[in-house]
Chain A
Amino acid sequence: MNNNKVIQVEGLTKMFGDFTAVNAITFDVEKGEIFGFLGANGAGKTTAMKMLIGISNPTSGNANVAGFDVFTNAEDIKKNIGYMSQKFALYDDLTVRENITFFGGIYGLSRKRIKEKSDALIEELGLQNVANKLVGALPLGWKQKLSFSVSLIHDPKIVFLDEPTGGVDPITRRQFWELIYKAANQGTTVFVTTHYMDEAEYCDRVSIMVNGKIEALDTPKKLKEQFKAENMNDVFLKLARG
């Protein structure tokens, strides 16, 4: 196994009855990369991601994430990855600090480490004033940034982000991508799905899924050349429309 490849996927397939949600996808993601995982609604992005994070069993194919096999060592994968779902999934009835403490505890961080992490995280996100407020009361943008930071609490090798900026204003989106860059600079691999094509431009490499298959995979620059398009938006439209 190539040590630089933190995700290796080969012929990964997921069937729901007769319906093939993910059709034999093959790709690699390198360490420290920001990998954009694009596709229209229903193209199979979320299903593919759920197989990689070990909460959905693949029907066939091979996948190795953070050095562990998704079929046999899903629980080992979970120690090494962070995940932020498209639906806000921290506990609304816990405070900011309680949520951080809770997830820190699940990942087995020491009390001291949790305290340090919480303080650093709350300061970085500028949440000092609301640290002891219930998360449910925060605006969506703040929730998303908090959710992202919590998914990084155990310093995972890879973080999976499922449409992290859905429904968020442009300023917050910008701040969000700054957080993503910061994580990538610190060596975390970022695997991100999005519908915003300007965000696709920020990625190191991008794959585009259509009807369960990966139809294109390269750097945004090369994709634009390949499809003779002005921007990623045109690339996406050309592919998605077939």
Chain B
Amino acid sequence: MLPIIFVLPLLQLVILSNAATFEVKNIKFGYIDNDHTSTSRALVERFNASTYFNVITDFPSEALASSAMLKGEVDVVLEIPQYFEHDLQNEKHNRLGVTINAIDGAAAGVMNVYVSQIIQRFNQHVKVDLLQPSDQQIQVSNIDTIPLFWYNETLNYKTFMVPGILVLLVTMITLFLSGMNIVREKEIGTLEQINVTPIKKSQFIIGKLFPFWVIGMGLLTIGLIIAKLIFNVPMVGSLPLMYVYTSIYILVVLGIGLFISNFTETQQQAMFIAWFFTVIFILMSGLFTPIESMPKWAQIITEFNPIKYFVEVMRMVMLKGSGVTDILPQLLKTLLYALIMNGLAVWSYKKTT
């Protein structure tokens, strides 16, 4: 059992951190060139040069392009109108048709930005090229923004995801182990034997917490080592602070697990309830979607989500180097949560029915 507990989540960490990406790459790009001039070919060449686009097809007609999109063979279709070059030179403006497969709305948004950027840059280039000596007085004025990405300068999504996924794995393992535990003893009958001994309720719960707490901390340690060695995630902040916070956080999760275990009669029931909370906690944690963009009621629910605090703290400490004072609100809320959940775990453990 112990190897399973450690090997599986760490395997997940390695696989998921590489797979759970929001970057849109390998976009299947098609175009309909009705112009066939050097300018239209230069535009297509821009897409070809981009690492995000795989220029795959030159569609002879719009009908063929839309049937290809229907089959999923192409994600983006650029339609270059006839007289593209001619109009651009004479009338200084033109229209390009861009069709994007938006089944995945988020990805479509990203593709749209990519396409627009390439066309804009091409546009500036063309403007400069087409400026006639007589038009010298017309200056191309541009406002350039130079973005600075703080705390994750290279916009490396792994830096962002690895700490979060590690949080999920530590949470799930500890929640499931503790959630299945007491109820398993109910099923096999050993709990009754414990109940006829003079053991105190709090002693029993502490005895149940401790081994899982050690496992949780062990998982965190190995996970952090993997984050550093394999993904080279920066660890700007204080490691001891990370551990202090995690040690309290795991108590919250274990408290929830033992509470579930006390209230259920079979491991199936416990499993279902544990899953129910896990899915809500994960999807509402701010790991995959920003909490700020959730509706108000959902934001209120996230206040009760321990994973949210762990994700916040993990990212703050690891990536921003936040100190105790910065994470004090999360620390105090987690501590309060731990006290409440473990209080409930002790309370809900009944030696007498």
Question: Residues of A with Cβ closer than 8 Å to B?
Answer: 53-57, 74-76, 78-79, 81, 83, 85, 87-92, 103, 106-108
Contacts and interface: CB of A to CB of B under 8 A. Distances in A.
Given A56-B353, A57-B352, A89-B189, A106 B196 contact: no
- 10 A-B pairs closest in CB distance: A89-B193, A87-B189, A83-B196, A78-B198, A79-B198, A89-B189, A106-B197, A55-B195, A89-B190, A53-B196
A49 to B, nearest CB: 10
Contacts of B196: 53-55, 78, 81, 83
Contacts of B87: none
A106 B353 contact: no
Contacts of A55: 192, 195-196, 351-353
B19 interface: no
Nearest to B353: A56
Nearest to B196: A83
B283 interface: no
Nearest to A107: B197
Contacts of B96: none
A111 B265 CA distance: 35
B130 to A, nearest CB: 80
Nearest to A83: B196
Query: What is the predominant secondary structure among interface residues of chain B facing chain A?
Result: loop
Contacts of B351: 54-55, 74-75
B194 interface: yes
Interface in B233-286: none
A103 B192 contact: no
B193 A85 contact: yes
Contact of B190 (A54, A79, A91): A91
A57 B193 CA distance: 17
29 contacts: A54-B196, A54-B351, A55-B192, A55-B195, A55-B196, A55-B351, A55-B352, A56-B352, A57-B352, A74-B351, A74-B352, A75-B198, A75-B351, A76-B198, A78-B197, A83-B196, A87-B192, A88-B189, A89-B190, A89-B192, A89-B193, A90-B190, A90-B193, A91-B190, A92-B188, A106-B194, A106-B198, A107-B197, A107-B198
Interface residues of B, number: 14
A74 B351 CA distance: 10
Contacts of B103: none
Contacts of B353: 55-57
Given A89-B192, A89-B193, 5 more contacts: A55-B353, A78-B198, A85-B193, A87-B189, A92-B188
B155 interface: no
B199 interface: yes
Nearest to A93: B1
A167 B291 CA distance: 59
B229 to A, nearest CB: 34
Interface of B: 188-190, 192-199, 351-353
Nearest to A82: B196
Contacts of A78: 196-198
Contacts of A106: 194, 197-199
Contacts of A89: 188-190, 192-193
Contacts of B197: 78, 103, 106-107
Contacts of A107: 197-198
A188 B190 CA distance: 24
A157 B353 CA distance: 24
B124 to A, nearest CB: 71
A49 B220 CA distance: 46
A88 B200 CA distance: 23
Most chain-A Cβ atoms within 10 A of its Cβ — which of B195, B196, B197?
B196
B100 to A, nearest CB: 57
A10 B24 CA distance: 78
Nearest to A94: B190
Contacts of B190: 89-91
Contacts of A57: 352-353
A61 to B, nearest CB: 16
